[in-house]
């Protein structure tokens, strides 16, 4: 598989803009945090076998395993801070299930990337 970093998911034309945005900052002022408007996908990656590290935000599963989750570039994304741009969130289906105790650690996901 092609090993990717999160910046590899950002189109070349957006990278300078993306870098200037940086990781979302949270000021906890009480206002709703807004998701970044940048975030086009790289269609040439569609169908590629990839390997990418990230953190799990569980969506489906049971007390022992998670079967559907969002893979995000940093811990706590989408919880207390603005969510990452759309091209920095990967929706993962893993019917076999991943152990729940691994949710707090960086994991590597290997699979077929679909860009939408």
Number of structural domains (the chain) is 1
Show the tokens assigned to 37: 């408007």
pTM given for the model? 0.79
Show the tokens assigned to 40: 């086009």
Query: What is the mean pLDDT for each group of 10 consecutive residues in the chain (116 residues)?
Result: 92 73 47 65 95 92 91 77 84 89 83 93
pLDDT of 111? 96
Question: What CATH number is attached to the domain comprising 76?
Answer: 2.40.50.870
Q: Is residue 101 part of a domain?
A: yes
46 CB neighbour count, 10 Å cutoff: 12
Q: Is residue 33 part of a domain?
A: no
Show the tokens assigned to 25: 């900052």
């Amino acid at each position: 598989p092609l090993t990717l970093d999160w910046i590899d998911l950002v189109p070349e034309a957006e990278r300078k803009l993306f870098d200037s945005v940086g990781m979302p900052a949270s000021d906890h002022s009480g206002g709703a945090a807004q998701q970044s408007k940048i975030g086009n996908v790289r269609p040439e990656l569609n169908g590629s076998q990839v390997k990418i590290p990230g953190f799990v935000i569980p969506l489906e599963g049971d007390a022992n395993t998670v079967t559907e989750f969002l893979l995000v570039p940093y811990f706590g994304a989408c919880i207390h801070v603005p969510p990452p741009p759309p091209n920095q969130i990967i929706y993962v289906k893993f019917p076999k299930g991943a152990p729940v105790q691994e949710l707090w650690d960086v994991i590597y996901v290997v699979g077929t990337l679909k860009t939408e």
